Amino acid sequence: MTIIRLTGSTPMRGLAEPGWRGAIEDTDAYDLADPARRIKILSAGALIISGAADHVMLHRHREHLTGFVRDGGRVLVNGQVVLPFIDGLCRWLKLDYRSPWDLRPHALSDHPVWNGVDYRDLHFRTGVPGVHTYEQLQEIGVAGFYGRGYHSPLPEGAAAVTGIGPNSLPLDYTYPLAKGEVLVHGGLDLEGFADERYSSSRLGPNLVTWLSAGTGTIGSRTPEEVSA
């Protein structure tokens, strides 16, 4: 099973690394414009799309990316979607927040990617060295890195996974599309929150396990159709 991460910035540590990171292959998102490279990308079992990728460019390949999911592929979409590039994606909307508690992420429904993750470990971040309790992070940390917005309206059949703030607006959601599934995280790249010091370390291996259950292939589409 190959998991390809379409990037638009500094690549994550890749195949030479042990553990879950070694299961992910970084590829420049602009490779979709090259027919031969696009065939390789769409032949993967699953995709991660970085929030730093060019969403305008991805929109030009909406048919290809949608076909990938419909054929059984699983995709993690990161970032602030303004121009949907897979059927069913909804727009990201900025949250009107006043305090760190308006940005508190919390579970709305179970999803295997978040198994074992304490959402308090996603609320605050700090550059102060060391491991800190949640109470300490409230004093020295900054909220909002995990997400500062929400999605609306959700597509038919979608489930909100993570809510944000007191109104539990949908920050993370998932929805089926034919044989495949799309998971959306409306913030900085989800895989980047896999911090080995906290329960959020589970995000990395959980994500790889979930993506690996996809059956994305070129499927019934011929290489000529994929390259068109």
Angle 44-9-224 from CA coordinates, rounded to 5°: 35
pLDDT tens digits for 56-89? 999 999 999 999 999 999 999 999 998 999 999 9
Asked if the model's pLDDT at residue 103 lies above 90, the reply is yes
Structural domain count, the chain: 1
pLDDT tens digits for 181-227? 999 999 999 999 999 999 999 999 999 999 999 876 544 444 444 44
Tell me which residue range forms the domain holding 9. 3-227
CATH code at position 17: 3.40.50
pLDDT tens digits for 104-143? 999 999 999 999 999 999 999 999 999 999 999 999 999 9
Side by side, which strands form the sheet with 24-28?
A: 24-28, 3-7, 46-49, 74-78, 180-185, 169-177, 159-164, 105-107
Residues 6+ apart with CB under 8 A from 166: 101, 102
The three-class DSSP label of residue 15 is: coil
Distance in angstroms between the alpha carbons of the first and the last residue of the chain:
25
The three-class DSSP label of residue 210 is: helix
d(CA 97, CA 204): 29
pLDDT of the residue at 42:
96
Helices (H), the chain: 35-42, 55-60, 62-70, 120-123, 134-140, 203-212, 223-227
Closest CA to 119 of 149, 90, 138, 146: 146
Q: Residue 127's CB: how many other CB atoms inside 10 A?
A: 7
d(CA 88, CA 34): 25
